[in-house]
Amino acid sequence: MSDKYHTMLTSHIRRPTQVYKSNRLPLEKSFRLYRKARGIIPAMSQTFSKAPSSYVEGVYPIYLSKGYRGHVFDVDNNRYIDYVMALGPISLGYNYPAVNAAIKKQLRNGISFSMPHSLELELSEEIQSIIPGAEMVRFSKTGSDAGTATIRVARALTKRDKIAYCGSGGVWHDWFTALTSRNDGVPKFNNKLIRKFSYNDLESLKILFEEWKGEIAAVYIEPMTTEYPKDNFLHKVKKMAHQNGSILIFDEVVTGFRLANGGAQELLEIEADLVAFGKGIGNGMPLGAITGKVEYMEKFNDVFYSTSYGGETLSLAAGVAVINEFKTKPVIKHCWKIGSHLQDQFNKIAKELEVNISLDGIPVRSSISCRDQNGNDSLLIKSLFCQEAVQRGVLFGRGYVMLCYTHTQKDIENTINVCETSMKKVKEAIQNNSVKKSLKGKIMRPVLTF
């Protein structure tokens, strides 16, 4: 990105470490738009996790206007170091030059066509070059759609309907949503077709295979969330699935293009039968992918998985550019490095201040935990911590702390300083028994339970 464009984009923007005298961000335009949108947009957002209630409503900005590298800007021209990263899709950074250039180049030639476009083959070959076991490739518009496509293929191949599931959620289709508290409108029979098992607990999966003997089409699992597999867990899951005639599906919607260039399969040295990708593959463009072995992927010739926008070329061009950046630059190495430093310093400060706050998980996919005096997770305390951080220009969400390639060391140091100040504010509130009083907005609300 040119210096001229950077100056234009960031001029008159309030800096992230500025503390306002009123201890409240100026958010007049954000709240004005909010009042207008309440009667027009159900849930106030197209994504539950982006809605005001998922943050500290009344303190956080509600509407953003633009992004640059690891920063976002709200409609009131406040600037934040962003660790939500659009819920994960921003892997390289906002307004990333190489991705922007690829989109602009393709835009001159068209977006969607009446027949396949050569970019479908080009991106498929790029994915094969980076993702283990990607003998064939199929595209989707979201990771959720990709996950559902793998389930459809597994059911078609095995002539079974039931699913053993392990993960943190995020596949918002009937077969999964039946498990959640937001299951209105989902046929009740779906709830009888899926059951959960626990990560690093092989016995919990064994029980499902015993109770559903010969009925499980697929073992659908996030290969890694915030902890590593123990005692060869994933390899044992794969063996158990195959011994019972089931297909192993990895949900790499989050782990893909985060843990390693080849995702969790590369990092953990294991290949699944089918894999669903999304989020980081397009650096913000709507793009997902399914990869896997020929013997499984060929079933896409028969099952009806078809969408008008599967070959939409702007997203495909972005995907090619993203993979090229991953192959030629130390994207993953950089994110692990700065993530490790942030996590180490965050936890060191918390220990020194004697506050029960921690940054848990792995450096490239961590989460902020805040606990009360009894050691229980406290959304109230977490809301207060996040309130203090956002007022100082650091944007954390209720979920994972995500990084991108263009987060700088300076961003990390600024974040560490803000986190220290925020922890001190929380400690003071706890000591004065004024945590609830100190919260100027509403407590963050979970999107669902399951």
pLDDT at position 22, please? 37
pLDDT at position 170, please? 81
How is residue 120 written in tokens? 């479908």
pLDDT at position 20, please? 33
**Alpha-carbon distance 424 to 393, whole Å?**
16
pLDDT confidence bin for 8, thresholds 50/70/90: very low
Listing DSSP states for 279-331 in one string gives GGGGTTSS-EEEEE-HHHHGGGGTS----TTTT-HHHHHHHHHHHHHHHHS-H
State pLDDT tens for residues 112-145. 999 999 999 999 999 999 999 999 999 999 999 9
* Range of lowest pLDDT (28-32, 68-72, 155-159, 166-170): 166-170
Q: CA angle 383-83-182, nearest 5°? A: 60
State pLDDT tens for residues 330-367. 999 999 999 999 999 999 999 999 999 999 999 999 99
**Alpha-carbon distance 139 to 179, whole Å?**
26
287 has a pLDDT exceeding 50: yes
406 has a pLDDT exceeding 90: yes
The strand pairing partners of 196, in sequence order, are 165
**Alpha-carbon distance 420 to 349, whole Å?**
6
pLDDT at position 407, please? 98
pLDDT confidence bin for 12, thresholds 50/70/90: very low
Tell me the mean pLDDT in the region 257-269. 98
9 has a pLDDT exceeding 60: no
How is residue 357 written in tokens? 């706050």
**Alpha-carbon distance 89 to 254, whole Å?**
8
**Alpha-carbon distance 137 to 132, whole Å?**
12
15 has a pLDDT exceeding 80: no
Cβ distance 175 to 296 under 8 Å? no
C-beta atoms surrounding 328 within 10 Å: 9
7 has a pLDDT exceeding 50: no
Mean pLDDT of the chain, nearest integer: 94
4 has a pLDDT exceeding 70: no
State pLDDT tens for residues 295-335. 999 999 999 999 999 999 999 999 999 999 999 999 999 99
pLDDT at position 18, please? 39
24 has a pLDDT exceeding 90: no
What's the whole-model pTM score?
A: 0.93
State pLDDT tens for residues 40-79. 999 999 998 999 999 999 999 999 999 999 999 999 999 9
Listing DSSP states for 323-391 in one string gives HHHHHHS-HHHHHHHHHHHHHHHHHHHHHHHT-SEEEEEETTEEEEEEB-TTS-B-HHHHHHHHHHHHT
Kind of pairing between the strands at 357-362 and 194-196: unpaired
pLDDT at position 61, please? 97
13 has a pLDDT exceeding 60: no
Cβ distance 215 to 245 under 8 Å? no
How is residue 439 written in tokens? 């919260």
pLDDT at position 14, please? 47
Cβ distance 54 to 445 under 8 Å? yes
Tell me the mean pLDDT in the region 196-220. 98
pLDDT confidence bin for 16, thresholds 50/70/90: very low
Residue 317: which of 113, 99, 86 has the closest Cα? 99
